[in-house]
Amino acid sequence: MPKKYKIPSNVEAEKTVLGSLLCNKDVLHIVMSNLVEDDFSGVEPRNQLVFRAMAQLYDQKTQIDVQTVHAQLVNLKTDGEVGSPEYLMTLIDSVVSLNPDEVEHYMRIIKDQAVLRKLLKKFNDLEGEYAEGEIQNVSDFLEKASNEISEVVKKRSVGDFKTAGDVAKSVEAKILEMSEQSDNSGVTGVTTGYRRLDKLTHGWQKDDLIIVAARPAMGKTALSMNFVYNAASKGNVPVAFFSLEMSAEAVMKRFLAMVSYVPHDDLQTGNLRDPKSRVKLNDAVNKLANCPLYIDDTPNSTLGDIVAKCTKLKSAHPDLGLIVVDYLGKVTMSNKPGKNDSRQQEVSYISGAFKTLARQLHVPVILICQLNRNVEKTDSKVPMLSDLRESGSIEQDADQVILLHRKDYYTNMGQKVGNGGKGNWTNNKFGKQVEAQAQQPEQDGPQAPDLGLGAEANASVMHILLAKNRSGQVGTSVLIFSKSYSKFDDPTLETEQKIMDYEKQMGDSVGF
């Protein structure tokens, strides 16, 4: 550490704490639980040596007093450096008060000085890394620096317990505040936009990491975009959407199909011969233009890039309500290959970093993930938490995990599901002849209920499985997925009941 400035320290506070340990066993546990040898500055080297001896006596469950500490210094062959027992007596003379609260005050001083020393050293290390040209990616460097500095600052906390009374009063105030703002919907966070899912989650909550996971082409990107639009339009909060696979233009076409109910294929080909389609498209453009929605389509975004952009957006829009990242598999730690030992370790770090981001910004983060192939080896094809791809830490870090299941995803590929593939919810995509047959009543089972959206919507039932919910109940809900529009809607209560009855008869019930 450079000597151009005075090393942060408070030798008198160190002496006071050490002296308290020699004559007041009531402060022993709190001091030993919060301080380590490195917290003592070394400006007075004898303080570090005395604390080392005390810590070893504490570990050995031996009484700490002048005699035992001096004996331990002799055993450590450091008594010559500390000097005769007279120095231990001067420590006792330094005690200002034996009150544990007073001792805790001096502990905080020691801890603060230790944190300052470590911060200065960290800044010096970062400056050295820059000077030596070791920075490959600025965003990654900033993310690493931010995390390392945060770890140092965390060590400042001493005696930060909160009494049950203080916490209870704080929670009561928040509950009363929510009660006054309540619209009886039960939503205390940003609305998901869907009736039953809001009932289970109470909306997307601040500080939460939400995982939305499914097999490829199941509809997870489409659902995440519906969450984005619902939060921005119905929740009226700014939303950040990171699209790591599609360009902003491709994303916007999906949004326009969703809002206008003009088929996505028509928007792709410019097939807008019907004047009504042009009107609906223009209305959708105006609605989206008025939404506080921010899209980032930078390919191969690193974790540092995303964190930096979210922090900047939060600074510009303090009411930022939701961050959605599509998807985890495309997020890397650095553009430099081989930086991490394995992709599993990398994913573990990334998921933890997104949870930290949610807590630091007080904004819910939705992270889209893929499920592994194990789900396809089961008869029902219903996903489980164990099917999360690449890392078990994803499940551990997440506050909520939402798994998606759509039976027709498999039956449209000719796969048997559960009851042998009967009860397909949608017209098969492989041809009109199959489509016509699907419209005929089944001879060996009940007819699937009409979803009420017409053939153009190419609609099917999507099961939303809330498999983990740290703050509430788990459960299952259903949404109607109009694939032509990339649109998800709540079924009517009548249709929802018909779906449940039909699945029960077919033995296809999905849930926990």
337-358 in b/e form (b: 16+ CB < 10 A) is eeebeeeeebbbbbbbbbbbbb
Q: How far apart are CA 382 and CA 472, in angstroms?
A: 22
Q: Is the dihedral of CA 203, 204, 207, 209 positive or negative?
A: positive
Which residue, 499, 480, 473, is CA-closest to 199?
A: 473
Q: How far apart are CA 405 and CA 417, in angstroms?
A: 12
Residue pair 296/241 in contact (Cβ under 8 Å)? The answer is yes
Quick one: DSSP state of residue 3? S
Q: How far apart are CA 169 and CA 390, in angstroms?
A: 42
Q: How far is CA 218 from the centre of its chain?
A: 22
Q: How far apart are CA 51 and CA 458, in angstroms?
A: 73
Catalytic residue among 148, 245, 395, 435: 245
Concatenating the DSSP letter of every residue in 168-232 gives HHHHHHHHHHHHHH--SS---SB--S-HHHHHHHSSBPTT-EEEEEE-TTSSHHHHHHHHHHHHH
In the numeric block, which tokens belong to residue 159?
């005696």
Q: Is there a catalytic annotation at residue 494? A: no
Residue pair 381/407 in contact (Cβ under 8 Å)? The answer is yes
In the numeric block, which tokens belong to residue 134?
């070791």
Computed over its alpha carbons, how large is the radius of gyration of the chain?
30
Residue pair 475/200 in contact (Cβ under 8 Å)? The answer is yes
Q: Could you give the residue numbers annotated as active site? A: 245
